[in-house]
Amino acid sequence: DQQVKQNSPSLSVQEGRISILNCDYTNSMFDYFLWYKKYPAEGPTFLISISSIKDKNEDGRFTVFLNKSAKHLSLHIVPSQPGDSAVYFCAAIVDRGSTLGRLYFGRGTQLTVWP
Amino acid sequence: KAGVTQTPRYLIKTRGQQVTLSCSPISGHRSVSWYQQTPGQGLQFLFEYFSETQRNKGNFPGRFSGRQFSNSRSEMNVSTLELGDSALYLCASSLAGRAYDTQYFGPGTRLTVL
């Protein structure tokens, strides 16, 4: 049962433009949402997160937007750079009870930024 | 500060064998989680340990087990290997596994079962 879904397996964007990666979730109990970036042969690297009580969080070129009513979040990268080319995973966590420490992941979106 | 380390990085085993993978968390981190990554299923949660206790477990058969030592280092074991166990096994560490404790991942162990 995939509680976090990334419906676009790939996205191709020109350098300098905006990249928008989308993520949907089904579990209304999620307290925190995270984005990880993964290069081949490496583990995922934390990028940015957002609490469920907020609707936007910004860190440099990266902004995450959360729409709780739609159970949807998105990651905006502006401007996109070739070094951003990687697989991006959306993840979520319930911050209580028996599921502490467990991240629920989407299946990832391969972002390719071309010059 | 050293990152999460996993050993070995690559492993080739045959069906029916067993395997033990090791994870050393970032110093001071007490929570260690394990994930299996396969092309078809993405990142699937195996289990999480905090202060030597398994706090929660994903939907994997009993052939998958783990433990955590007093220094927070963790091992996972897979017995009676099957072809479908071929995957990248990732461990992640965090201070206490809370939502606001960033989980940092190791590079993974690539297991191939022949």
pLDDT at site B101: 84
* Min Cα separation A31/chain B (Å): 7
* Cα pseudo-dihedral B46, B52, B53, B58, rounded to 10: 0
pLDDT in tens, A62-98: 999 999 999 999 999 999 999 999 999 999 988 776 6
How far apart CA B23 and CA A78 sit, in angstroms, is: 35
pLDDT at site A75: 98
pLDDT in tens, A30-64: 989 999 999 988 899 999 999 999 999 999 999 99
pLDDT at site B1: 65
| pLDDT above 90 coverage of chain B, percent | 84
What is the bridge-based pairing of β-strands A72-77 and A104-105?
unpaired
Q: Is B80 helix (H, G, I), strand (E, B) or coil?
A: coil
Give me A80's structure tokens: 């996109």
B2 touches chain A (CB under 8 A): no
As a whole number, mean pLDDT of residues B48-68 equals: 93
As a whole number, the mean pLDDT across chain B is 93
pLDDT at site B76: 98
As a whole number, mean pLDDT of residues B3-29 equals: 96
CB proximity list for A34: less than 8 A, separation 6 or greater:
A46, A47, A48, A49, A50, A90, A91, A92, A93, A103
pLDDT in tens, B23-35: 999 999 999 999 9
Q: CA-nearest residue of chain A to B10?
A: A41
Contacts of A105 in chain B (CB under 8 A): 35, 42-44
The one-letter amino acid code at A24 reads: D
As a whole number, the mean pLDDT across chain A is 93
Q: Are B55 and A100 an interchain contact pair (Cβ–Cβ within 8 Å)? A: yes
Residue of B113, B101, B111, B110 whose CA lies nearest to B50: B101
| pLDDT above 70 coverage of chain B, percent | 99
Q: CA-nearest residue of chain A to B93?
A: A101
Whether A82 contacts A15, CB under 8 Å:
yes
